[in-house]
Amino acid sequence: MFETFYPQLIGLCTGALLLTSALMVWRHSLLASIRLLALQGVALAALVAVIGIAEGESELVLVSLLILSVKGVGLPWVLAHQSKASIKQIQESPRLNPTAALLAVTLLTILSYVVVSRVFGLGDSETGHAAPIGLAMVLIGFLLLISRRRARSQLIGFLLLDNGIATIAFLTSGGVPILLEFAVSLDVLLVVLILHVFAGRMRTKFGGTAVDQLRELHD
């Protein structure tokens, strides 16, 4: 029973991952991006659970719960942790217009399929076929990091990048050892907390969080 659904479930989860990444590029409101990030965390946790059940590894189910709590709930909560009224007003004015950005997303996705099939070969497994999605997410994360002006939007780009790496890890090798998974989650959580504090300090010092203002130090 499960075997027949397995490829479809993998496709569904990775499809959700790619869709949320593309939508993050499209939407300019910070609140929408954070909600998409939460959704993506849930999709990633589901993907890990599906792989875990298929391979009969209880450890992976545990990891999926960890991911659900950190990426699905914890990180979005930290990011959205200011008054709802003020966060709703935050609109990003990115360097790329939406059409160009979505075109770039398409090109990056095609590029990652080409790279993965050329370099590694796609293999026979369902997970191997889906691996390019992870690389596409990493590249889209870079796109967000480069094209966004606000501190918190850049942070979302960083988290997308991290989700992409996790996706690659689970699709190519069924995840890294669980101890490392814990360490990675903790590290990412702390980095986000630190950047969140800095973004807050930036608002009080510079009167805004546009990263463009950071240009006092140069040669």
Partner 1 sequence: MSFVLWIPLVGPLAVAGLSLLLRGSALRRFVGVAASSAVLVSGLLLVSAVLNGDVPESGGGMLRADALSAYMLTVVGAVGLISTWGGLSSAASSRTKDAAGYEALIALFLAAMSLAVLADSIGLMWAAVEATTIATAFLVGHHRTRRSLEAAWKYVILGSVGVAIALLGIVLIYAASVGTDTPTLSWVLLSQSTRGLDPALITAGGALAVLGFATKSGLAPMHSWLPDAHSQAPAPVSGLMSGVLLSVALYAILRIQSITNLVIGPEFLRTMLSIGGLLSLLVAASLLIRQRDYKRMLAYSSIEHMGLMAIGVAIGPAALPSVLLYILGHGLIKATLFVISGRILKVEGTPVISDVRALLVRRPGLAVPWLIAMAAIVGFPPFSIFFSEVGIIMAGWSVGLGGVVGAALVLLLVIFAAFTRLTVQMTIGAPADGAAFTPDYSTHGPRLPIILALATTASIAFVAEPVGTLLLQATAVLGGTN
In b/e form, how buried is each residue of 174-191, taking b as 16+ CB within 10 angstroms?
Answer: bbeeeeebeebbeebeee
Instruction: Say what the alpha-carbon torsion angle 187, 190, 196, 200 is, to the nearest 10 degrees.
Output: -140
78 binding partner 1? (CB under 8 A): no
Q: Which is nearer to partner 1, 65 or 191 (CB)?
A: 191
Query: Which residues are within 8 A (CB) of 212 and not within 5 positions of it... i.e. 6 or more apart?
Result: 149
205 binding partner 1? (CB under 8 A): yes
31 binding partner 1? (CB under 8 A): no
Q: Determine the Cα–Cα distance for residues 11 and 17; give it in Å rounded to an integer.
A: 10
Q: Determine the Cα–Cα distance for residues 188 and 186; give it in Å rounded to an integer.
A: 6
119 binding partner 1? (CB under 8 A): yes
Indicate which single residue of 110, 114, 206, 208 sits in contact with partner 1 (rule: CB under 8 A).
Answer: 206
Indicate which single residue of 87, 90, 102, 145 sits in contact with partner 1 (rule: CB under 8 A).
Answer: 145
Other beta carbons less than 10 A from residue 168's beta carbon: 19
Q: Which is nearer to partner 1, 109 or 154 (CB)?
A: 154
Q: Determine the Cα–Cα distance for residues 49 and 74; give it in Å rounded to an integer.
A: 19
Beta carbon of residue 99, minimum distance to partner 1 (angstroms, whole number): 26
Beta carbon of residue 158, minimum distance to partner 1 (angstroms, whole number): 6
Beta carbon of residue 39, minimum distance to partner 1 (angstroms, whole number): 21
177 binding partner 1? (CB under 8 A): yes
Q: Determine the Cα–Cα distance for residues 217 and 43; give it in Å rounded to an integer.
A: 40
Q: Which residues bind partner 1 (CB under 8 A)?
A: 119-121, 138, 145, 151, 154, 158, 161-162, 165, 168-169, 172-174, 176-177, 179-180, 183-184, 187, 190-191, 194-195, 198, 201-202, 205-206, 211, 214-217, 219
